[in-house]
Amino acid sequence: MSNYDSHKIYEIGFIGAGNMAQAIGLAFVKKGICKAENILVSAPSENNKKPWRDVGVAVTSDNNAVFCCSKIVILATKPQYFQKVVSGLFTKTIGLPLNILISIMAGITLSTLHEMFDLDPSSLFKVMPNTPSLIGQGFSVIAHMDNADSKKIFENLPTVKYLMGAVGGVEVIPESLMNAAGAVSGSGPAYAFLIIEALADGAVKQGIPRDLAVRLAASAIAGGSLMVLETGKHTGQLKDMVTSAGGSTIAALHALERGGVRSAMMDAIEAATNRWEKMGEKK
Ligand SMILES: NC(=O)c1ccc[n+]([C@@H]2O[C@H](COP(=O)([O-])OP(=O)(O)OC[C@H]3O[C@@H](n4cnc5c(N)ncnc54)[C@H](OP(=O)(O)O)[C@@H]3O)[C@@H](O)[C@H]2O)c1
């Protein structure tokens, strides 16, 4: 059931109301970036609308209501629905309030967006957030079209950075690096989960109860990550700080190197980058 005002211009509209849209949109409300009453969200079913309604965001099942009544539109459906969603939109944008279109859909290129939407290249942004955005600890990489007018990009880009900053860190990168960034940042949380699980398994084998083993492993990874981000020190220097001569840590590091961990990680990034590239070609 819709509760939007068809005569109103909304500040931000989401097409797609699921996990990532909620992480971003509800953070806008929570952090005072945009009032709930100035956000409009569309999705075909009621599956994901309650959390939006609960905070006072307007909802509809009409994607065109969002597209035609919002100044900033964020496309947040699954990539496989992209063609279906776009083919149902009035993609002629003359006279619409729309001035920034952000796609968070993995694998949809800026040139595809440009082909589909009658918008100035400086209005189009591709953003790749990651799952920790769900807890406000994400990281989003942002790309814009190479041929966009730099003066107009200068006007629009700060808005996009400000919005995505609601769920974590942001960095602007060329679109050509988006797949590699996806391989490390988008897929990265899965690697962290696997590493934590494996470390915890090792601790369980040494007799530590599972619950404590998982907390110890996750805290070590989180703490190590924060030390990298907050001290700005080289990872090698930080590693050396915990590696005493003839000690247990160097013995463990030797075992990891023997197991090819470093090379396996690099292979993982290569495999994921190639896969992201293939997914982009299919669209
Ligand atoms: N989750 C992540 O960590 C992550 C990270 C980076 C990028 N992304 C990107 O974020 C996008 C959304 O992912 P998600 O995890 O949030 O997916 P999700 O939870 O499955 O949400 C998808 C949303 O799209 C809606 N939808 C489906 N068909 C639609 C249509 N025809 N018109 C309008 N809305 C439609 C769904 O509607 P219903 O509510 O009715 O089911 C749902 O609200 C994806 O493109 C993904 O690549 C996700």
Q: How does pLDDT run across 115-170, given as a tens digit for each residue?
A: 998 889 999 999 999 999 999 999 999 999 998 999 999 999 999 999 999 999 99
Instruction: Please state the rounded mean pLDDT for residues 16-32.
Output: 96
Kindly state whether residues 122 and 192 are assigned to the same domain.
Answer: no
Kindly state whether residues 22 and 123 are assigned to the same domain.
Answer: yes
Instruction: Please state the rounded mean pLDDT for residues 19-48.
Output: 96
Look at residues 61, 53, 66, 65 and name the one whose alpha carbon lies nearest to residue 26: 53
Kindly state whether residues 192 and 174 are assigned to the same domain.
Answer: no
What is the pLDDT confidence band of residue 58, given thresholds at 50, 70 and 90?
very high
- The predicted structure's pLDDT at residue 91: 74
CATH of the domain at 246: 1.10.3730.10
The binding site consists of 15-20, 63, 76-79
| In a domain? residue 127 | yes
| Nearest residue by C-alpha to atom 48 in ligand 1 | 20
Could you tell which of 20, 48, 125, 184 is best to mutate to test the pocket of ligand 1, judged by most ligand atoms within 8 Å of the CB?
A: 20
The binding site for NADP(+) consists of 15-20, 76-79
The binding site for NADPH consists of 63
Q: Is 85 in the pocket of ligand 1 (CB under 6 A)?
A: yes
CATH of the domain at 101: 3.40.50.720
If you measure from the C-alpha of residue 268 to the centroid of ligand 1, how many angstroms do you get, rounded to a whole number?
25
Contacts of 118 (CB under 8 A, 6+ apart): 91, 92, 93, 94
Kindly state whether residues 44 and 163 are assigned to the same domain.
Answer: yes
Cα dihedral sign for 169, 187, 134, 113?
Answer: positive
- Amino acid found at 122: S
Kindly state whether residues 258 and 142 are assigned to the same domain.
Answer: no
- The predicted structure's pLDDT at residue 11: 97
Residue 212 has pLDDT above 80, yes or no: yes
Kindly state whether residues 125 and 247 are assigned to the same domain.
Answer: no
- The predicted structure's pLDDT at residue 282: 58
Range of the structural domain that residue 40 is part of: 10-178
Kindly state whether residues 36 and 136 are assigned to the same domain.
Answer: yes
Instruction: Please state the rounded mean pLDDT for residues 26-37.
Output: 96
Instruction: Please state the rounded mean pLDDT for residues 55-69.
Output: 96
| In a domain? residue 124 | yes
pLDDT averaged over the chain?
94
Phi, psi of 124 (to 5 degrees): -105, 130
What is the tally of structural domains in the chain? 2
> Among residues 155, 178, 201, which one ends one of the domains?
178
> Among residues 149, 178, 207, which one ends one of the domains?
178
